[in-house]
Amino acid sequence: MTATTTDMPATISPHRGLMSRLSSVSLKQRFKFSQRRSRKEPLKEETVFISNIITFGDNPHVIPLTAHQTPADVVVEAVSEPIVQHPVMSVTRTAPPPLPTLSPEAPVASIASPLSVVESISPIPAYTPRVEALRSGTTPAQTHLSLPSYEESFSAHSVNGITYVVNANYLPQRPDELAVHTGDHVILEQEFHDGWGRCHSVVTGLSGVLPLALLVRLESKITHSDISAQRNNNVANIALLHPHVAKDFHEAAERGDLNKILSLLESSLTVIDARDDGQRTPLIKAVSYGHVHIVKKLLESEALVNARCGGQHTPLHFAITSGEHSEAIRTEIVTLLLQYGANVNAKDGHRQTPLHCASRFGYTNILESLLAEAADVDAKDENGWTALHHASAQPRDDRQDNRFALIDVLLQYGANIDARANDQMTPLHLAAKIGSERVVKLLLDKGASVLARAGDLITPLHLAASHGHAKVINVLADEGALVNAWTNSKKTSLMMASQLGKASAVKTLLLKPGIDVLAQGENGLTALHFACQNGNMEVISLLTREIMKELTRKHGSHVTLNELPKTAPSWTPIHYAALNGHIKAIECLASNGIDINATTEQGWTPFLLACSEGETEVAVELLRLGAEKAARTKGGWSALHLACITRNKKLINTLLDLGMDPSEPTLGLLTPLHLVAESTSVEGANALIAKGAEVNSQTITGLTPLHIASMRGFNTILQLLSNSGADPELKYKNKTARDLATKESTRAVLYRM
C-alpha cells in the first residue's frame, strides 16, 4: 500500500528532554500494532502494547501521550530501550489472520492514561476510521470524523519481541476535531486491511476538543467477539460504518429478494440487525412488506425478533399493522414471530401491545394466537384503553361481524368488561359513541354496566344521544338507562342532542317514558334554549310541540312559550336564536307566542342582540314581528350604537332610514359618531354625518369624535370631521386634538384646520 505522509509540528513543552532545544520537528505519527509468531504456531490469546512513535529522520522515538495532549503538545524525548509498563490492548483471535509484511522491531512505550474502555473487534477486510460522540443516556449521535491524510503503521509487540507491521492511509473526508465533555463516550471504529479486523473503542472521561489522531492513540482494551451476532450493543455503529451494505440489506428485505439476502448473510460486512433512519431492521422491513420467506430466513439467522424501531414498535407490531397484504399472510408471519420468541406484551411508544393492534385492526385469528401465548388481555395503552376498548371503539364498516367476534373472543379470555380508560370511559361508552348497536347489545348481554359514568359523569346514553344514534338510545333505554340523568356540567341527554342538532336522537328521546322536556340545567337553560343556539329547525319544532303539550298539561289551555321556566339571566330561547342569527327559529318561536321584546337582566332584547352581531336580516325580521326599535340596554345603548361598533354599513343605513337619531347619546354621552371614530368606519361616519350627526358632541369627560381620531391616528376620519366642522380647540382632559395626536401626519392635518 502506498502511504501518504503529512508533516505536523510538535511544539516543545516545558518538559525538557534530548530534543527540547528544537523549536519544531518533522512529525510522522506511527501506531505500532505488532505480533511475533511463526506461521505454524497455533493462535492463542495474547497481550500487546500500543505506542506513539515520532520519527526524526530515520530515528524513531517513543513518546507517551496523556489523555488531553494533541500532536502539537507532545514532549519529544529519546528512548533507548523498549518500555513495557501497562498492557493497554488485548486481542483474542479465533482464526489465524494472513501475515502482514515484517518490519524491524521498534522501541515501545505504553500509554499512561486514566481512561477506561470496553470494546470489540471483528474481521473485516477494509479500512475506514469513524468517530461518534455519545452523550450519557442517549443513542449514538451522528457525528462522524476522519483523520487527516498521513501514514499510519499498526504493529503489535508481544513479549518475545518479533514485529508484524500493517500500513494504512487515512483519507481526509471530514473535520479532524471532536468536541467532547466529561461524561461523554467517544466511540472509535476502525477496519484493518488483510483481515486484521475492526477496532471499536468506547472511551469515557474525556473533556475538551480532541483531534481524531489522538483518539486512535488513546488506551483501548479490545476484545474480539462475535459482533455479527449483534449481542453487544454495537449494532448501530457497525451499520453506520457500512451504510451501503445496510442499505442493500434493507432494500432486499423490502423487495423480498431471498437470493440477495442469502448473499448478504454470507458477507462478513453484513449486520443482520442494521438500522435505517427510522431505526427499523431488515426483519421489520420484511415483516412490513409481508415477505414470509424472508422473515423465516432472517429469524433462522438469529435476527432480533424483538428489535424496536424509533417508535418502539417490534416486528410483531408491524406484522399486524403494516402493509396491504392479506390477513392470512399476517397470521403466518405472526405465527413465525411467536415461534421465535416474540414478546406478546411488548409496548410501543404509545404503550400499545400487539393485542391492542390486533383488536384495532380487527384480526380475530391473530388475536386468538396472541391470547394463546399469554398476552395480557387487560393491558392498557397511554390512554388507558384495553384491547376491548379498541375492539368496541372501531367505526362501523364491512367488518362489523368481525368486530363482534373480536369482542366475543376477548370476553372469553376474561377481559374486564367495565375496564376504565384514563377518562373513565368503559367499552360500552365507546360502543355507544360510535353507534354500534350489535356491540352495545353484546356488551350489555355480557354484563356491562348501562349506568357507568365516565368523566363529567357522562353515561353511555349521553354519548349515544350527542352523536345521534337513535337505535343505540333505544337499546340502552330498554336496558335501564336513565333518560334524565345529569352530567356534572348539568346537561341531560336531551339537552346534548338538542345543542348538537341531532334530530333523530331528540325524536327518540321524546318518546321515552318520563322524559323531562322542561328540565333546567346550568343557569336554568332548557333543551329548547340549547336548540336555539344550534338553529336546527327540526329539533326546534319537535321540542316546541312537546313543550307546548307539557305547558298545556300544567297550566291549562291558551298557554304560550312565555310560560317557560325563567333562566338565571332571564334569557329566553328567542334571545339565543337572535344572537346566533336563526331567522326560522325566531319565526317558529314567535308563532308560539313567545315575547319578541323580552329583556334580559341587563335590558337586552332579541333585537338589540341581533344588532350587536351585525345581523341585518334578523334585525329587520324582528322589527317586522313587532320588535321595539327604540329599545335600549340598561347602559343606554341603542340599536344604532351597537350597529356602529360592528361597522356594518348596511345595518347602520337601515337603522338611520328607520329614523333613528344619529346623535343619540348613551348614559355616558357616547354618540354613534364617537363609536365609528373608534372603529375607523369611514362609511359609517359618512352615513351619520349625512343624517346630521353632531360632530362636536362631547362625553361627560369632554371627549369628542375628533379627539378619538387624533389619538388613534385615523387621518381619513380626522379629515372628514374637519371638513364637517369639527372644532380642534375643544379640550379633553385639558388637551386639544393637536396635543393628543400620536403621529406627525395627524398633527399636520390638525394644524391645517
pLDDT of residue 213: 35
More confidently predicted of 99 and 289: 289
pLDDT of residue 718: 84
pLDDT of residue 746: 64
Question: Which of 18-27, 273-282, 346-355 is least confident?
Answer: 18-27
pLDDT of residue 232: 36
pLDDT of residue 481: 97
What domains lie within the chain, and their CATH numbers? 29-240 (no CATH), 517-631 (1.25.40.20), 656-753 (1.25.40.20)
> In the predicted model, what is the mean pLDDT of residues 585-603?
94
Please give the full DSSP string across 610-621, using - where no structure is assigned: HHHTT-HHHHHH
Q: Kindly report, residue by residue over 147-204, the tens digit of the pLDDT.
A: 333 333 333 332 233 332 222 233 333 333 333 333 333 333 333 333 333 333 333 3
**For residues 329 and 290, is the Cβ–Cβ distance under 8 A?**
yes
Element (H, E) at 737: helix 737-740
Q: Kindly report, residue by residue over 459-518, the tens digit of the pLDDT.
A: 999 999 999 999 999 999 999 999 999 999 999 999 999 999 999 999 999 999 999 999
DSSP label at residue 4: P
Q: Kindly report, residue by residue over 387-417, the tens digit of the pLDDT.
A: 999 999 987 654 456 788 999 999 999 999 9
> In the predicted model, what is the mean pLDDT of residues 331-345?
96
**For residues 605 and 630, is the Cβ–Cβ distance under 8 A?**
no
* First-last CA distance in the chain: 94
289 pLDDT higher than 80: yes
420 pLDDT higher than 90: yes
Q: Pick from 113, 327, 314, 299: which is nearest to 203 by CA?
A: 113
92 pLDDT higher than 60: no
521 pLDDT higher than 60: yes
pLDDT of residue 285: 95
Strand ranges across the sheet with 59-62: 29-31, 52-56, 59-62
> In the predicted model, what is the mean pLDDT of residues 591-615?
94
Percent of the chain having pLDDT more than 70?
A: 65
pLDDT of residue 745: 66
Confidence of residue 736 (pLDDT cuts 50, 70, 90): confident
Number of H helices, E strands in the chain: 32, 14
Question: CA-to-CA distance for 620 and 607, rounded, in angstroms?
Answer: 9
Instruction: Tell me the one-letter amino acid at 451.
Output: L
Question: Which of 241-255, 320-334, 418-432, 656-670 is least confident?
Answer: 241-255
What's the mean pLDDT when you consider all of the chain? 72
More confidently predicted of 233 and 269: 269
pLDDT of residue 387: 97
Q: Pick from 225, 234, 267, 233: which is nearest to 249 by CA?
A: 267
- Give the C-alpha distances (Å, rounded to integers) separating 539 from 272, 503, 553: 64, 5, 21
Q: Kindly report, residue by residue over 500-513, the tens digit of the pLDDT.
A: 999 999 999 999 99
Q: Kindly report, residue by residue over 355-386, the tens digit of the pLDDT.
A: 999 999 999 999 999 999 999 999 999 999 99
Confidence of residue 631 (pLDDT cuts 50, 70, 90): very high
Bridge pairing between strands 197-204 and 185-192: antiparallel
How many CB atoms are closer than 10 A to CB 179?
A: 12
Question: CA-to-CA distance for 33 and 511, rounded, in angstroms?
Answer: 92
pLDDT of residue 76: 25
> In the predicted model, what is the mean pLDDT of residues 295-305?
93
> In the predicted model, what is the mean pLDDT of residues 611-622?
96
Q: Pick from 473, 470, 447: which is nearest to 460 by CA?
A: 473
Q: What residues pair up with 165 in beta bridges, in sequence order?
A: 155
Confidence of residue 279 (pLDDT cuts 50, 70, 90): confident
pLDDT of residue 424: 96
pLDDT of residue 170: 30
Question: CA-to-CA distance for 201 and 356, rounded, in angstroms?
Answer: 41
pTM summary value: 0.66
Confidence of residue 574 (pLDDT cuts 50, 70, 90): very high
Q: Kindly report, residue by residue over 24-83, the tens digit of the pLDDT.
A: 222 222 222 222 223 333 323 222 222 233 222 333 333 333 333 333 332 222 222 222
pLDDT of residue 91: 25
Instruction: Tell me the one-letter amino acid at 311.
Output: G
Question: Which of 30-44, 578-592, 649-663, 736-750 is least confident?
Answer: 30-44
pLDDT of residue 243: 59
Cell 336554568 identifies what position? Answer: 524
pLDDT of residue 742: 76
Instruction: Tell me the one-letter amino acid at 325.
Output: H
Instruction: Tell me the one-letter amino acid at 32.
Output: K
pLDDT of residue 391: 95
pLDDT of residue 233: 38
Question: CA-to-CA distance for 84 and 92, rounded, in angstroms?
Answer: 20
